């Protein structure tokens, strides 16, 4: 399949805005949906709409089947060991909050430590801040350097001080969990999460990976990665909105209390007490967003199509053209440095790899031009980009700016679009100076 053909799967990409062809470069915020996903979403609503799990009738059986097929699709997509480890949520944020609450409830006490990355989206920062406020635990930061690379020596230091993970009792200072992002929504670099996981596991500390962007750009195998939790949203990876997945290792999920309660997540209920259903239902209180979740098989199939060599190669060419064109402008500062001028993939597997890869996310500032002005003018040229703090204020502040512009691509974006973007950027800059 060619990029052209792949692109044609997405009806919205044919539309015009302000009479101009749409150039959609805000894929890190949400991807577009292929026709197959929209059709499934509608079909469940039109033909099989009934509450899942609860009834014996035909429609309920169909809706429940579709829901469970979606669970199997998610399991296969990230190669989880079992369906019990796939919890459906409303999104990545809800998935992370579930862990912050439930894991926190089970394991985090005053005097403990939780470590988060400096480059996190607010969704993987604020839940941990609140957990620490609630429990009296302390929040420590895994810092990034000016390239946007993690300083793993700091992590080693923190782990050496703490030494004990969630299993440890009685230690004076305990690192209970490390929560880091697979790919930052600002810097777009593929972080060496495997190295972090190895270091943490050597100290007995579990790791949550925020995979909101990682799931889009990387082949995720949670067993090979060996993360303890992996959280992502459906809407960034072609699925319907209001969907998400929390993958968790069974041994942790079993020890965690439910986050929300009610609905089908219970076992036996008396007026004074309830015991809980098994995994994954224990963490799925209330009626799930079943028509939207049902789009997972089609969405993940689309993601796999995009990874076929012909499309992947042309996507890489588009991305490296964009990186070169932005770097060629003396007045543009691109953030997140692969540390590898040739742009080659060099993940060495060492604790602190010298070079990172960039995954289709380009955040930059333009000397003398406010990011919001540029985004506004580009919009009128038919180009959709993000501007501002991008829900990741600490990382924006790290680079000493008040906001950035972000062009984030998907495999359906073409070279013509990238070239048009660079031309329009040039025009916008001239207008705004």
Partner 1 sequence: MTIAQKQEELVEAFSEFDEWLDKYEYLIEMGKALPSFPEEKKTDERLIKGCQSRVWLDAQTVDGKVVFSADSDAIITRGIIAMLIDVYSNRTPEEILQADDRFIDQIGLRENLSPTRQNGLLSMMQTIRQLAETAARTQA
Ligand X SMILES: Cc1ncc(COP(=O)(O)O)c(C=O)c1O
Q: Output the CA torsion 101→167→92→33 (10° steps).
A: -150
Residue 213's binding partner among partner 1, ligand X, none (Cβ under 5 to 8 angstroms by kind) is ligand X
Q: Is 93 in the site for ligand X (CB under 6 A)?
A: yes
* Contact residue for ligand X among 27, 98, 123, 135 (CB under 6 A): 123
Residue 210's binding partner among ligand X, partner 1, none (Cβ under 5 to 8 angstroms by kind) is ligand X
Q: What angle do CA 184, 188, 193 make, to 5 degrees?
A: 55
- Contacting range for partner 1; rule: CB under 8 A; set: 77-85, 158-166, 193-201, 373-381: 373-381
**Residue 233 or 414 having the CB closest to ligand X:** 233
Residue 273: CB minimum distance to ligand X, A: 33
- Provide the token pair at 231: 């959280």
Packing angle, helices 152-162 and 193-202, rounded to 10: 20
Q: Is 414 in the site for ligand X (CB under 6 A)?
A: no
* Contact residue for ligand X among 27, 32, 97, 181 (CB under 6 A): 181
Q: Is 372 in the site for partner 1 (CB under 8 A)?
A: yes
Distance CA 84, CA 86 (A): 6
Q: Is 18 in the site for partner 1 (CB under 8 A)?
A: yes
**Residue 177 or 366 having the CB closest to partner 1:** 366
Question: Does residue 280 have a cis peptide bond before it, meaning omega lies within 30 degrees of 0?
Answer: yes
User: Which residue among 92, 227, 319, 391 is the active-site one?
Assistant: 391
Residue 202: CB minimum distance to ligand X, A: 26
- Contacting range for partner 1; rule: CB under 8 A; set: 66-74, 146-154, 294-302, 367-375: 367-375
Beta bridge partners of 210: 181, 231
Which runs of consecutive H residues, i.e. helices, occur in 187-258? 193-202, 214-217, 222-225, 250-255
Distance CA 87, CA 392 (A): 26
Distance CA 352, CA 348 (A): 9
* Contact residue for ligand X among 92, 114, 215, 396 (CB under 6 A): 92
Q: Is 210 in the site for ligand X (CB under 6 A)?
A: yes
Q: Is 124 in the site for ligand X (CB under 6 A)?
A: yes
Binding to ligand X, residues 15-74 (CB under 6 A): 28
Q: Is 402 in the site for partner 1 (CB under 8 A)?
A: yes
Instruction: List the beta strands (DSSP E) in 271-370.
Output: 274-276, 332-335, 361-366
Of the candidates 146, 222, 219, 155, the residue with the CA atom closest to the CA atom of residue 187: 146
Q: Is 189 in the site for ligand X (CB under 6 A)?
A: no
**Residue 267: φ, ψ to 5°:** -95, -95
Site string for partner 1, 413-432 (x = CB under 8 A): ------------------xx
Of the candidates 131, 116, 192, 163, the residue with the CA atom closest to the CA atom of residue 392: 116
Q: Is 393 in the site for partner 1 (CB under 8 A)?
A: no
Using an 8 Å Cβ cutoff, are 50 and 57 in contact?
yes
Q: Give the DSSP letter string of 244-290.
A: EEEEE-HHHHHHSPPSS-SGGGEEEE-SS-EEE--TTGGG--S---H
SS3 at position 197: helix
Q: Is 98 in the site for ligand X (CB under 6 A)?
A: no
Packing angle, helices 92-107 and 126-135, rounded to 10: 20
Beta bridge partners of 98: none
Residue 91's binding partner among partner 1, ligand X, none (Cβ under 5 to 8 angstroms by kind) is ligand X
Beta bridge partners of 209: 180, 230
Residue 124's binding partner among ligand X, partner 1, none (Cβ under 5 to 8 angstroms by kind) is ligand X
Residue 190's binding partner among ligand X, partner 1, none (Cβ under 5 to 8 angstroms by kind) is none
Q: Is 380 in the site for partner 1 (CB under 8 A)?
A: yes
Q: Is 39 in the site for partner 1 (CB under 8 A)?
A: no
**Residue 91 or 148 having the CB closest to ligand X:** 91
Using an 8 Å Cβ cutoff, are 78 and 220 in contact?
yes
Residue 156: CB minimum distance to partner 1, A: 39
391 is an active site residue: yes
Which sequence positions are flagged as catalytic?
391
Residues that bind partner 1 (CB under 8 A): 18, 369-370, 372-373, 375-377, 379-381, 388, 402-403, 431-432
Residues that bind ligand X (CB under 6 A): 28, 91-93, 121, 123-124, 181, 185, 210, 212-213, 233, 391
């Amino acid at each position: 399949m060619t990029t052209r053909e792949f692109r044609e799967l997405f009806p919205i990409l044919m539309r015009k805005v302000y009479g101009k062809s749409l150039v959609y470069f805000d894929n890190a915020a949400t991807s577009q949906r292929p026709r197959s996903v929209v059709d499934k979403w509608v079909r469940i609503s039109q033909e099989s709409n009934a509450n899942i799990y609860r009834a014996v009738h035909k429609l309920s059986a169909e809706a429940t089947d579709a829901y469970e097929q979606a669970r199997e699709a998610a399991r296969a997509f990230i190669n989880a060991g079992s369906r019990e480890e796939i919890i459906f949520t409303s999104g990545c944020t809800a998935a992370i909050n579930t862990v912050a609450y439930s894991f926190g409830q089970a394991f985090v006490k005053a005097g403990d430590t939780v470590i988060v990355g400096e480059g996190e989206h607010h969704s993987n920062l604020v839940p941990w801040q609140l957990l620490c406020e609630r429990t009296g635990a302390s929040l420590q930061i895994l810092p990034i350097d000016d390239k946007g690379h993690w300083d793993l020596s700091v992590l080693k230091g923190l782990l050496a001080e703490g030494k004990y993970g969630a299993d440890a009792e009685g230690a004076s200072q305990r690192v209970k969990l490390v929560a880091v992002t697979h790919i930052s929504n600002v810097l777009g670099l593929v972080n060496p999460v495997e190295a972090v996981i190895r270091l943490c596991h050597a100290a007995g500390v579990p790791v949550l990976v925020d995979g909101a962007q990682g799931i889009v750009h990387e082949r995720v195998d949670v067993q090979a990665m060996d993360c303890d939790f992996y959280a992502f949203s459906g809407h960034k990876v072609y699925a319907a909105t209001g969907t998400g997945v929390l993958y968790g290792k069974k041994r942790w999920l079993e020890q965690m209390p439910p986050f929300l309660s009610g609905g089908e997540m219970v076992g036996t209920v008396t007026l004074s007490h309830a015991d809980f259903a098994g995994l994954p239902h224990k963490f799925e209180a209330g009626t799930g967003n079943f028509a939207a979740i049902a789009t997972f098989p089609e969405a993940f199939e689309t993601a796999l199509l995009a990874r076929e060599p012909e499309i992947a190669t042309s996507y890489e060419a588009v991305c490296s053209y964009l990186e070169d064109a932005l770097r060629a402008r003396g007045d543009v500062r691109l953030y997140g440095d692969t540390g590898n001028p040739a742009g080659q993939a060099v993940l060495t597997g060492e604790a602190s790899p010298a070079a990172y890869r960039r995954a289709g996310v380009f955040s930059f500032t333009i000397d003398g031009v406010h990011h919001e002005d540029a985004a506004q003018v580009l919009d009128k040229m038919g180009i959709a980009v993000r501007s501002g703090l991008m829900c990741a204020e600490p990382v924006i502040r790290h680079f000493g700016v008040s906001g950035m512009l972000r062009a984030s691509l998907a495999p359906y974006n073409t070279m013509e679009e990238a070239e048009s973007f660079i031309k329009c950027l040039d025009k916008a800059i001239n207008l705004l100076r």
